Amino acid sequence: MPKKDYKNIELDPKYVPKKSEEYMSDMQRAYFYNMLNGQREELVASMEDIMGAINLAKKNDTAGTGDEADTSNFDIEATMQIRMHERSVNLLRKLDAALKRLEDGTFGYSVVSGEEIGLKRMIARPLATMTLEEQEEYEKKKA
């Protein structure tokens, strides 16, 4: 069972995980936890802004002011905002899944093979769930 104290570790702001450290040590897990949690907080805040813009567009659209061009612009803006919100919801799910993997000790390990994904890849793409080779194979099969 993985230790859970990584959430309370205070890291030096300049800390970056090193290959010489034990893979997914508490320090590394704290680093990724802080990174992912920070991204999650920023995303939730931006989602609130997006929802505010969507609601404003709806309010303006239903107010009946403006001509057809204005209405069309509001519709386009609302559609773009909804798409941005959908992307944000998808990213939020991925961040939550990564935080759950941190919690259960599977973060940084492939969901396919259980192998280490690798520190370099995890730093570059913290939401990765497969090794680079597995991801490439998956993309080939998908195409």
Give 114-129 pLDDT, tens digit per residue: 999 999 999 999 999 9
The residues near 30 (Cβ < 8 Å, ≥ 6 apart) are: 6, 7, 9, 11
Q: Does the pLDDT value for residue 16 go beyond 60? A: yes
Instruction: Report the distance separating Cα 139 and Cα 133, nearest Å.
Output: 10
- Per-residue pLDDT at 55 exceeds 80: no
Residue 5, both tokens: 């104290």
What pLDDT score was predicted for residue 143? 81
pLDDT of residue 136: 95
Give the contacts of 28 (CB within 8 A, at least 6 positions apart). Answer: 17, 21, 22, 108, 119
pLDDT top residue among 79 and 56: 79
